[in-house]
Each structure stands twice: as structure tokens, then as C-alpha cells.
Amino acid sequence: MRKPIALILLAVFVTMLLVAGPAVSKRRSVAVKDNYFVKSGSPRTVTVKKNATVVWKWQGMNPHNVTVTRGPVKFASRTKSSGSYRKKLTRRGTYKILCTVHAPSMRMTLKVK
């Protein structure tokens, strides 16, 4: 009697693993292009979950930085023209971010839920 119950429980567990699929990504990329974040036009808002890592990737030719001007935690990257900058976000809230080289027009909002 115990074997059938154990087999049923094992089958349920394996099925749950297969249905769940791969884990949700804990990383989000943000493009840093010539004089704008994410895409050209009005400031963009990016939303991530707490403990996600955001990676800003330089894709243009101009020098830029990532600087939090308002938010639960302040952080800033170096000013550079290539490469990337990553930050793990462990505090919920709204972060106002800009490039100090191209302020006030080059800005974005980052929401951590």
C-alpha cells in the first residue's frame, strides 16, 4: 500500500517541476544609447522584482553614466563610452536615474517591486 502512494507523490512532484518550467530571470538589461536610456523619446520606466540585477549596456559612442538622483538607495556608475554596469536591487521603491553628462534630458525611472 505504501509503494503506490509513494509513486503517486513522486509523479506529482515530477509533474510540478516540468510544468513550472525554467525559473524567471533575475536579470534585466537596459540599453544606454546616444543620449537616451531604453529607447528614444519620453523617459522610460523599467520595473523589476526585488533582488533582480539590472545591467546597463553601453551601445552608443557618447560617454554616459548611470546616477540615482532619488530613491531608496543611491548608486552611480563611472562615466564611460562602452561596457556595462550592473546593480543588484535589494530595496523596493522608485529610483529616478539620469546621466549627469546629458542631464536633464537623459533620464529613466526604475521601479523595484
Number of Cβ within 10 Å of residue 98's Cβ equals: 21
pLDDT tens digits, one per residue of 14-53: 444 443 433 445 889 999 999 899 877 766 899 999 999 9
Give me the pLDDT at residue 23, please.
40
CA distance 37 to 33: 6
96-110: average pLDDT:
95
Domain locations along the chain: 24-112
Q: What share of the chain is helix, strand, coil (3-state, %, to 5)?
A: 15, 40, 45
Q: Give the right CATH number for 24-112 from 3.30.110.30, 3.30.200.20, 2.60.40.420, 1.10.260.40.
A: 2.60.40.420
- Cβ atoms of residues 58 and 80 within 8 Å: yes
Q: Are strands 44-48 and 107-112 parallel, antiparallel or unpaired?
A: parallel
Tens digit of each residue's pLDDT (9 = 90 or more) over 73-89: 999 999 999 999 999 99
The model's pTM is 0.75
